[in-house]
Amino acid sequence: MRAIQFSTYLVFVTVLLLGYTQARAQSTSLEVLYQNTQNLAGEIAQLQTEAKALSGERQASLQLRITERQLELLTAFDTLSDRIVEEEAKDRAQTELKVKLAPQLLALGPLIKAAINRRLAAIDNLEQTHEVLSIIWMADYLEHNTFIDHAYLRLTQHAKNLADLQLDNAESTAYLHQALQQRAEVLAGQIALTQKELEANLHSLAASPDDAATQQTVKSLEDKQNITTDSLKNTVALLQENNLDAGRYKEILIKSTGDITADILDVNLLKRLSHAWLKNITDYALDNGAGLFFKIIVFLLILLVFHYLSRAGAKLLRKSLAKSTMPVSALMETMVVNLCRRMILLVGILLGLSQLGFSLAPILAGLGVAGFIIGFALQDTLGNFASGLMILIYRPYDVNDLIEAAGVQGRVQRMNLVSTTILTIDNQTLVIPNNKIWGDVIRNVTAQKHRRVDMVFGIGYSDDIEKAEKILKDILEVHPQVLSEPEYTVKLHTLNESSVDFIVRPWVETENYWDVYWDVTKSVKLRFDAEGISIPFPQRDIHIYQTEKTA
């Protein structure tokens, strides 16, 4: 119980201490914040005194550091101004501090303006100090633009602080509005000029792809364009924050970057973009419509001509293979003819694309690279391809052959270099990868013209063997589909447990195999029954022994 009371007391004391500390911090925070601003202002004054004693690059470098400190001072004043507004909202009078701050706050606007102007001048003078688009030039260009964007952001906050403290912000606001609109126009112009330079260098690079200097120039121009575009995005955001029209600059951003984001999109902009795109399409159609229409007609004519050429070439090749003395399977014939036809069509498509203005060299190079990547990714498919070639070369089966391979029995319907399609006896279509067929035993049932039918018939031990043999021979001799050559075989083969077995092996045409099998089996059953010859089945004799129980 005492422990609980002690814990409660400790929590109560802790809360009181935290409340006292927070109240103390609130009572002194304004003084601390104000002192921070004064310290920064003193550092800036000291740096300005030192800069007057310097000249040249050292003075310019120190001046840049001064502008950075001025932005820090502006941020400190923002924090202090927000704090004063909060205190006034709580009915805490801060009139004395506002009076002390007013001259300093009002003096900050001209200081930031001067810092921005120095940075803009530094950008204009970059060509005199560094080689254009060099690494140093690009670093300074990025640094200056980043500073300017931040300065305009701080200046926007400064104008808001003046309004919150009921100080005159008309001059700062007027300058800010004019400067933001002017900066947006300048950045938009720079984007347009850089884009033209970039397009010209890309055109030169297309003519000379291995030109290292042009490649570096293109990369530098793209980096510059990205920096300028980012600055325009920041400026557009500030224009919107100051309730200024930014529609035309949003349009430029979308056209230059291709990115349509929620923060730069509105209904009016969509209308303007739609009108601009429609106008561009209309102008292009008026300027190039006739030529483009003619190119499309030529493209379609080329495809049509090569379509008929592919059919004629396939027909001619099929006739040539049919007359060839070299034995060619139907599978290989179909494969070669289809490949020839597709190659002719591919040539036609490439020629048609060239008429539309497409360069064939990049397309062919892309096809080569894509083929390498696809081949590496589809190694199993390449195995099927190799197996398909081996099947075509060695021809273990052909179309319509009845085969047994990969655990499947059926007739071959068609084949390509990847798979073989088989129709099973019960009318199922199976597509089997070629490597599974080539890697297994292939049993071609219909490869030979003649086939032997193997049958076994049994008679009882008490039946006449000679009579049974004569009946079997008579059945084979009268059957029209049993061949005389090779000669059939009827022999007593096995003395089984319950029967005496004859083997009956007639030769037939392959397509008559099952007809002969079924006919002979039926005839044997009917003749044996008519002649009194039994067809035995397995039998067992069971002997039961009974023993008498003794008392």
The pLDDT score that the predictor gives to residue 533 is 93
**214 and 231 part of one domain:** yes
The pLDDT score that the predictor gives to residue 23 is 40
Nearest CA to 433 among 380, 361, 483, 494? Answer: 380
**195 and 275 part of one domain:** no
The pLDDT score that the predictor gives to residue 85 is 64
Q: Higher-confidence residue: 211 or 97?
A: 211
**192 and 337 part of one domain:** no
The pLDDT score that the predictor gives to residue 25 is 41
Q: Higher-confidence residue: 510 or 243?
A: 510
- Over residues 345-395, the pLDDT tens digits come to 888 888 887 777 676 666 666 666 566 556 555 556 677 778 887 887 777
pLDDT band at 278 (very low <50, low <70, confident <90, very high): low
The pLDDT score that the predictor gives to residue 489 is 95
Query: Which DSSP string do the residues of 407-432 spell out, in sequence order?
Result: TEEEEEEEE-SSEEEEEETTS-EEEE
Overall average pLDDT of the 509-515 stretch = 92
* Residue 125 located in a structural domain: yes
* Residue 316 located in a structural domain: yes
Q: Of the residues 234, 263, 292, which one is the last residue of a structural domain?
A: 263
The pLDDT score that the predictor gives to residue 104 is 67
Residue keyed to tokens 């001059």: 171
The pLDDT score that the predictor gives to residue 205 is 80
The pLDDT score that the predictor gives to residue 516 is 95
pLDDT band at 255 (very low <50, low <70, confident <90, very high): low
Other CB atoms within a 10 A radius of the CB of residue 475 amount to 21
**511 and 413 part of one domain:** no
- Over residues 439-457, the pLDDT tens digits come to 889 999 888 899 999 999 9
Overall average pLDDT of the 453-478 stretch = 94
* Residue 485 located in a structural domain: yes
**418 and 285 part of one domain:** no
| Highest mean pLDDT pick, 194-203, 269-278, 348-357, 473-482 | 473-482
The pLDDT score that the predictor gives to residue 280 is 64
pLDDT band at 525 (very low <50, low <70, confident <90, very high): very high
pTM: 0.41
Q: Of the residues 410, 426, 444, which one is the last residue of a structural domain?
A: 444
| Burial of residue 141, with CB atoms counted within 10 A of its CB: 0-12 exposed, 13-18 middle, 19 or more buried | buried
* Residue 254 located in a structural domain: yes
pLDDT band at 1 (very low <50, low <70, confident <90, very high): very low
- Over residues 34-92, the pLDDT tens digits come to 667 677 777 777 777 777 777 766 766 776 677 777 667 767 766 766 666 666 555 55
Overall average pLDDT of the 528-532 stretch = 93
The pLDDT score that the predictor gives to residue 128 is 79
**349 and 440 part of one domain:** no
The pLDDT score that the predictor gives to residue 523 is 95
How far is residue 498 from each of residues 36, 521, 530, measured CA to CA in Å?
Answer: 118, 20, 21
**182 and 144 part of one domain:** yes
pLDDT band at 407 (very low <50, low <70, confident <90, very high): confident
Q: What share of the chain is helix, strand, coil (3-state, %, to 5)?
A: 70, 10, 20
Q: Higher-confidence residue: 104 or 123?
A: 123
The pLDDT score that the predictor gives to residue 96 is 62
> Which CATH number covers residue 413?
2.30.30.60
Sheet holding 429-433, edge to edge: 429-433, 419-424, 408-415, 402-405, 443-444
The pLDDT score that the predictor gives to residue 411 is 92
**402 and 254 part of one domain:** no
* Residue 74 located in a structural domain: yes
**312 and 248 part of one domain:** no
> Which CATH number covers residue 352?
1.10.287
pLDDT band at 501 (very low <50, low <70, confident <90, very high): very high
* Residue 548 located in a structural domain: no
**284 and 169 part of one domain:** no
The pLDDT score that the predictor gives to residue 29 is 64
Residue keyed to tokens 């561009």: 280
Q: Of the residues 263, 288, 306, which one is the last residue of a structural domain?
A: 263
Predicted confidence (pLDDT) at residue 16 exceeds the cutoff of 70: no
The pLDDT score that the predictor gives to residue 521 is 95
* Residue 315 located in a structural domain: yes
- Over residues 261-275, the pLDDT tens digits come to 544 445 555 555 566
Identify the domain containing residue 325 by its residue range: 266-377
* Residue 48 located in a structural domain: yes
The pLDDT score that the predictor gives to residue 155 is 80
Say what percent of the chain tops pLDDT 90: 17
Predicted confidence (pLDDT) at residue 6 exceeds the cutoff of 50: no
> 114 with 198: CB under 8 angstroms?
no
The pLDDT score that the predictor gives to residue 3 is 39
**101 and 219 part of one domain:** yes
Domain count, the chain: 4
> Which CATH number covers residue 467?
3.30.70.100
Mean pLDDT of the chain, nearest integer: 77
**47 and 164 part of one domain:** yes
Contacts of 314 (CB under 8 A, 6+ apart): 337, 338, 340, 341
